[in-house]
Amino acid sequence: MLILANVRERWAGYLSCWLAVLVGVALITATLTIHESARPAVQPRLAAAPALVLPPQATDRGGSPKDRVPWSPAEAQSLTERLRAVPGAAAVVVDRVFYAQAVRDGRPLPDDGAAEAGHGWSSARLAPYRLLTGRVPDTADEVVVDQALGVPAGARLTVNLTAGRSEFTVVGTVDGPGYYLSDAAAAQRDPGVRTIALLPTPDTTPSRLAAAARTAVGDGATVVTGDGRAALQPRHVEHRRFLGTQLIAALAALGLFTTGFVVASMLVLATGLRRRELGLLRTLGATPGQLRRMVLGEAAVVGLLGSAAGCLAGLAAAPLLRDTLLRLDIAPPGLAVRVTAWPLLTAAAVGIGVSVLGAWAASRTAVRVAPLEALREDRTAERRPSRARLGAGLAVLGLGAGCAVLTAASAADRRVGLAITATMVLITAAALLAPVLVGPVGRVVTAPLRRLGTAGPLLLRAGLTAGAGRAAATAAPVIAAVGFAVLLSGAVETMRAAYPAGQALRLSGQAIVTNDGTPGLTDEAVAAHPVGKAALPTRAFVHRADGTTAVIDALGSRDPAWDRPGEAVLGESMAAWLGVTAGQQYPVRFADGATVPLCVAGILPDDPARGDFVLARSLVRTHDPAALGDDLFVPAGTEAVAVVPGTAVHDAVRYALDDYDTDARLTDSLAAMLIAVAVGYSSIATANSTALSAHGRRRDLAVLRSTGGTVRQLVLLAAAEAALVTAVATLLGLLATLPPLAGLASGLSQSTGAPVPLQLNPAALAAVTCACLLLASATSAVVTWRSLRRP
């Protein structure tokens, strides 16, 4: 009851903490709800197959499970024979997928899922899709299509396949999407087997069928049922989900860090302002343990109330976040918000936990103060931060510097994440060391003002020196706001400068043939341009020295330097990771399930334009008939023509820059969202901490008023002090951001082979700085004016 009474009595002081918890929990609730709603769902075309048999999974270079290792036709045949003997199995269907897209009026019909739209006829049973008209396909030039395509049975249809355009006779229509060839024709286009589906007899339950199948296949395969079948996802859906997940993870991480950072800094300030009250309780006999439990209990109540309101606000904001992701095209189509318990419980636990941890850190020093010392007017303890805080600040500073160095040396796909991590660490270091830094930096800033001969600069300098702890708590949210705004906007600007520099250096004078309305280039499009780089990517599987199977990106090339069947050229990092040397025979398993020994013909310095694992294009095509080509680069002096439907010709440099502008607009949108979250959150904290700080100076203001200070003078002094603290915090936030940005620029220079200078966004820095200055100054002026009006 005492805790509730204290919270009710001090509600104005705890309002800022409650609001910070509310915003943080709302953000975490919204992001986790969308993450849960975006979980993969079972494809409609597999709805009638209760059990799927999948090959073992390979891992990528980061150790994460990725692609399934395909079975060869012989392995799949042996496995299907065993599965046909499983009790309760009415049918065993080998599911195949490959590129297929109708061509009408010389243009491919728009289809996001075209890369996996082709199947064998047997796969139609897995939905099941009913044959509405006609018959099943028997020969290689017959196809069954979706009735919605509007092509009747008996008509001729041009279908774009990996080899190029082919003429088919439509022999039937079904009530579902896809292009269904005969099973034999589908096996030629996708010989490797990644999925075997089981259809049950009427009296067999899915669980019994799955259990019997697991017994039949043993450890050589995985049997999935129910929601586990969602492991099979179309690539275009999975790509969008990946992009959306990255943004959601960034928002959640930013929300978690900012919540903890802001709540802890405000509780430190609020607890420090209760120094007299805690000292009085110590005088009356309260033990440090009792005071600590009281402070922790109050924080838990505030955290609980803030979490409850934040969960409701997060649920209301989830549809807005979903609409934003769909508008940016980084969410699975048809994403619907689903409310479940665990996002709410997790967000509430985070809100309460952050509040309690912040209060524990704030109360460690306050509750140990001796009774008489706590009641003294001397503020020497406030001026000198503890040794533990200084030690922690220096340790965190060293960790942040290490993260900044790692940013420069890391792989391209990890640089931005490491830069954000380094900034978080350095912001924390700046906040921990702020009591030591605010005073000296403030004195340097105000040194020129001493020549004016007025009392204002003297009072400003004295206020920063005597109230270093209070100033540091006020500066903390400004440091966070400026740091994140400068980092995110600067990262976008630095990458915007790096990409054109690298592309201009690499593509000058070339033309580029790209896919236009198709997921990649067909062999027909490549054959129309016999000269030029025509990469054919595939996924290959290798056995590492530790016994694990890994999947890598291999590249088929027709460049005479690499187009040597039976040989492979590796980059240095790939060779070191695989543990191979030049001249060594190394077995590689391809998409058709065949294992081919390759001679490592050479190990060259890493070059993203060449690839880490380069093979002959003919070898890749032989073992991966379903692979589609990358953009085709035509050298200067050779004519590039768009004679094949689904292709377009561009100037290579101009196209690369335009393509990057498209990506940059998405990046700008994502960065703007992250900046809005960080700056908006920190602005709330800035206003609240400034108000608390100004409210805690009532006695100082009374003394200055009694010595002749007018209301106008004292309000201006308070506003000037808040502005000075904000300016110092802005400088610290900027300094915390420069090392990660420098590391990012250095890494981009290495990747592009062109010098990339560190770039800042002056507009973003000026906007955030001005907003924080105006907010802090206005809040301090208003609170001071209201305090002076009271008797």
Provide DSSP, 365-415: HHTTS-HHHHTSS--HHHHS--HHHHHHHHHHHHHHHHHHHHHHHS-GGGH
Question: 654 vs 560, which has greater pLDDT?
Answer: 560
What is the Cβ-side half-sphere exposure of residue 216, based on CA atoms within 13 angstroms? 21
Say what the pLDDT of residue 489 is. Answer: 82
CA–CA distance, 264 with 14 (Å, rounded to integer) = 12
Amino acid making up residue 286: A
pLDDT higher than 80, residue 620: yes
Tokens 């009747």 sit on residue:
152
Q: What residues contact 101, with CB distance under 8 A and at least 6 apart?
A: 108, 109, 111, 114, 117, 159, 160, 518, 646
Are 634 and 511 in contact by the 8 Å Cβ rule? The answer is yes
Output DSSP code: residue 55. Answer: P
148-171 burial, b at 16+ Cβ within 10 Å, e below that, comes to: eeebebeeebebbbbebbbebebb
Say what the pLDDT of residue 452 is. Answer: 61
Lowest mean pLDDT among 132-141, 424-433, 589-598, 610-619: 424-433
Q: Name the token pair of 267.
A: 């509780």
CA–CA distance, 363 with 351 (Å, rounded to integer) = 18
Say what the pLDDT of residue 469 is. Answer: 67
Tokens 């520099």 sit on residue:
501
pLDDT higher than 70, residue 466: no
- Percent pLDDT > 90 in the chain is 28
Angle value at C-alpha 67, between 65 and 73, nearest 5 degrees = 135
Output DSSP code: residue 454. Answer: -
Alpha helices in 531-593 (DSSP H): 572-578
CA–CA distance, 599 with 757 (Å, rounded to integer) = 41
Angle, helix 468-507 to helix 235-272, in steps of 10 degrees: 160
Collapse the DSSP code of 644 into the 3-class scheme (helix H, G, I; strand E, B; otherwise coil) and give the result. coil
Q: Name the token pair of 589.
A: 């398993």
Question: 499 vs 710, which has greater pLDDT?
Answer: 710
pLDDT higher than 70, residue 457: no
pLDDT higher than 70, residue 462: no
β-pairing, 179-181 vs 164-174, is unpaired
* Phi, psi for 534 (deg, rounded to 5): -130, 85
Express each pLDDT in 66-109 by its tens digit: 889 999 999 999 999 999 999 999 999 999 999 999 999 889 99
User: Residue 91's Cα: distance from chain center in Å?
Assistant: 42
Q: What residues contact 652, with CB distance under 8 A and at least 6 apart?
A: 507, 508, 509, 510, 511, 512, 633
The alpha carbon dihedral of 108, 109, 114, 120 has a sign of: negative
Express each pLDDT in 483-530 by its tens digit: 878 887 887 777 766 655 555 555 566 777 888 889 999 999 888 888
Output DSSP code: residue 531. Answer: S
Express each pLDDT in 177-187 by its tens digit: 999 999 999 99
β-pairing, 131-134 vs 142-146, is unpaired
Are 212 and 88 in contact by the 8 Å Cβ rule? The answer is yes
The alpha carbon dihedral of 155, 156, 159, 161 has a sign of: positive
Torsion, CA 497, CA 498, CA 501, CA 502, rounded to 10: -160
Tokens 């294009």 sit on residue:
617
Q: What is the mean pLDDT of residues 400-418?
A: 75
Q: Name the token pair of 148.
A: 């919605």
Question: 382 vs 430, which has greater pLDDT?
Answer: 430
Say what the pLDDT of residue 254 is. Answer: 73
Q: Name the token pair of 587.
A: 């077995």
Express each pLDDT in 728-751 by its tens digit: 888 888 888 888 888 878 777 776
Express each pLDDT in 183-231 by its tens digit: 999 999 999 999 999 999 988 898 999 999 999 998 889 999 998 898 8
Angle value at C-alpha 786, between 780 and 791, nearest 5 degrees = 135
Output DSSP code: residue 78. Answer: H
Q: Say if residue 413 is exposed, middle or buried (CB neighbours under 10 Å; 0-12, 13-18, 19+).
A: exposed
CA–CA distance, 160 with 134 (Å, rounded to integer) = 22
Find out whether the peptide bond into 128 is cis, omega within 30 degrees of 0: yes
Express each pLDDT in 385-397 by its tens digit: 667 778 888 888 8
Q: Name the token pair of 690.
A: 């400034």
Q: Say if residue 315 is exposed, middle or buried (CB neighbours under 10 Å; 0-12, 13-18, 19+).
A: middle
Beta bridge partners of 65: 59
Largest CA distance in the chain: 103
Angle, helix 288-327 to helix 341-366, in steps of 10 degrees: 140
CA–CA distance, 758 with 253 (Å, rounded to integer) = 25
Say what the pLDDT of residue 731 is. Answer: 86
N-to-C CA span, the chain: 32
CA–CA distance, 196 with 221 (Å, rounded to integer) = 10
Are 645 and 524 in contact by the 8 Å Cβ rule? The answer is no
Q: Name the token pair of 514.
A: 């790209």
CA–CA distance, 131 with 763 (Å, rounded to integer) = 61
Residue 170: which H helix or E strand, with range? strand 164-174
CA–CA distance, 500 with 192 (Å, rounded to integer) = 40
Q: What residues contact 81, with CB distance under 8 A and at least 6 apart?
A: none
Are 385 and 470 in contact by the 8 Å Cβ rule? The answer is no
Beta bridge partners of 616: 557
The alpha carbon dihedral of 62, 64, 66, 68 has a sign of: positive
Q: 474-478, 565-569, 678-682 — which one is most confidently predicted on average?
A: 565-569
Neighbours of 506 (CB within 10 A): 17
Angle value at C-alpha 256, between 255 and 261, nearest 5 degrees = 100
728-737 burial, b at 16+ Cβ within 10 Å, e below that, comes to: bbbbbbbbbb
Q: What is the mean pLDDT of residues 24-29?
A: 87
Collapse the DSSP code of 510 into the 3-class scheme (helix H, G, I; strand E, B; otherwise coil) and give the result. coil
User: Residue 490's Cα: distance from chain center in Å?
Assistant: 18
Distances (CA, A) of 763 to 490, 769, 770: 11, 10, 10
CA–CA distance, 359 with 292 (Å, rounded to integer) = 9
Say what the pLDDT of residue 554 is. Answer: 93
